[in-house]
Amino acid sequence: MRKTSTRLADGRELVYYDLDDAVVRDAVDLRPLEPTVTASEIRRDPLLGDAVAVASHRQGRTYHPPADSCPLCPSRDGRPSEIPDSSYDVAVFENRFPSLAGDSGRCEVVCFTPDHDASFATLTPERARLVLDVWTDRTAELSRLPRVEQVFCFENRGAEIGVTLGHPHGQIYGYPFVTPRTARMLRSVAAHRGATGENLFDAVLAGELADERVVLEGEHWAAFVPRAAHWPYEVHLYPRRRVPDLTALDEAARAEFPRVYLDLLRRFDRIFGPDEPPTPYVSAWHQAPRGPLAEADGVTREDFALHLELFTIRRTSGKLKFLAGSESGMDVFVNDVPPERAAGRLREVAGS
């Protein structure tokens, strides 16, 4: 993998990742861009302890542009974009409209492919492996920033999810705090360690793999629908060897990941049948933070288990799962699809 770092016209960093070590990236961003002005602020909810990012500058972000004006496509035919070169394998750049910026963290955009009409599921295994290596490199890079406490790599796919750019892409957030979701996991891990002396992630994985909700298994990865799934179709993908983050995966797990992950994504697109539009989903990597909470109550970051959560808000053909009063107001989810049925359906559509 060849990595080339450059700057866009307004000073934001752009990084090309190429499979060909001989490629040269010297295109210059000639757009007349003013320096990016952000107004990101982190506020704390005194009752819940949650952090809320207030980012008013995002009101002006690009919203569903036509395909010939896509800012994530390569710059071609006199149409400049966020990526000055006429082609790329994977490109990462600082978000022009970040939720987190400056002392409040960092937000990056990851363009998986130059093909506007592709999806992650249509990538070749070689290209999917390159994206994994990019996620790993960005995790390492952002973790070195003094203001970043946790790195979150994710993909939102589909207008139903709220995606405003149709080009295949994901994002990476470098939070200046440990996220509430992760903090809750760590408290559960600490309580389980205190009660049993064992690791909770190890116990959960062993228990789930002994149940009927297993979706697929590889030598180094395993995927299942959790017993208490929040979403209609929700799969958790774990490496069999517990590691705290992407940087700690060994080569064997890295080599197997593309096959397993592409299989899962393609099954998601088959859940509702061939006449249904592509399945909207969120794909989220849970990684150990490096902040003080990771070592609270006798829990270290090595006690955390890297895993990927993949879910869709589509509950059946033509119908979405909306967060109503119980979910939005009280964080108590009501799932319309029994997890056992969801797992069975995901097994049915394997390779069909």
Give the catalytic positions in this structure.
Answer: 169
Please tell me the distance from the alpha carbon of residue 82 to that of residue 92, in angstroms, as a whole number.
Answer: 10
Residues 239, 220: contact at Cβ < 8 Å? yes
Which candidate, 104, 121, 109, places its Cα nearest to that of 43?
104
C-alpha to C-alpha distance for 52 and 39, rounded to whole angstroms: 13
Q: Residue 217 and residue 80: Cα distance in Å, rounded?
A: 44
Q: Give the containing element (helix H, strand E) for 308.
A: strand 307-312
Task: Look up tokens 């994710």; give the residue.
Answer: 154
Round to whole Å and give the CA distance between 194 and 299: 10
Report the alpha-carbon distance of residue 307 to residue 288 in Å, rounded.
10
* Per-position b or e across 27-40, b if 16+ CB within 10 A of its CB: bebeeeeeebebeb
Task: Tell me how far apart the alpha carbons of residues 83 and 8 are, in angstroms, rounded to a whole number.
Answer: 8
Torsions phi, psi for 287 (to 5 deg): -125, 155
DSSP string, 151-208: EEEEEEESGGGT-S--SSEEEEEEESS--HHHHHHHHHHHHHHHHHSS-HHHHHHHHH
Closest among 92, 72, 71 to 3, alpha carbons compared: 92
Tokens encoding 283: 């794909």
In contact, 134 and 266? CB cutoff 8 Å: no
